[in-house]
Structure 1
Amino acid sequence: MEGDGATPRGTHKIVGVLFRADRVEKPTSRAKPIRPRDLWSDDPSQPDYNQMVQAPYIYSHEKLRRSDPLYNLVILTDWNWPNAVKDRGSAIFIHRWRKPGHPTEGCIGLRPADLTWITPRLLPKSRLIVL
């Protein structure tokens, strides 16, 4: 459910990688750079709900190009994507944690070194399993 702060249980496909080219090296040939106007729509009333969108965007969204390092490297899952169901929840990302033991808003937070190690080793059959 959108905004519940929970990570949905299940097996989720890995569908992409985003990275800040001004902060980290391209981790894999499939990775796409996060550009200054990149946002992620989290407004279930919009047709582009749970999709990457571009600023300006007047509806509810999350900035992908953050001032902090949280989204320097992001692994995208297929949670409620590509055909999002209204209010089912948007974007379960795998990204770096803020600090040990600090929760995310439903995403998966990893140590930066672990995230950097895992990302180039992802295969088309790689999955995130949440029990």
Structure 2
Amino acid sequence: STLAESNLYRSWKADVIGMTNMPEAKLAREAEIRYASVSMVTDYDCWHPDHENVDVQQVIKVLLGNAAKAKNMIKNLIENFENHIDPKDPTNNCLDVAIITAPEKRTKKTIDKLKTVAGRVLNK
């Protein structure tokens, strides 16, 4: 962030700033895909009076540490994901109402392209 952006975020009482994931989250839900955003801090923003400006090496060092943490998190998620699936979760059937193209207007090419994420509904 620039100093002006940083001060604006601070005036909003924001503790952490980053890019939004809203479009991805909405599209994932529509496709019945579980989605979570994980944010890992790399550095203090430019406003912080008690810290020097960060350099690329410092950010890379923190990024590498975050990458190791992320790998452990993914391994844990893979090992435990099925223990946390709720069969009554509405995400399980969002596609039932997400596709509005009439079946007779769907081409075989499009159905084949989308079968991995939407085959359950497209093949009805």
Which bracket does the TM-score occupy, shorter chain normalised?
A: under 0.3
Question: Which protein is richer in helix relative to its size?
Answer: 2
**CA radius of gyration, larger in:** 2
For normalisation by structure 2, the TM-score amounts to 0.22
Counting strand residues as a fraction of each chain, which structure ranks higher?
1
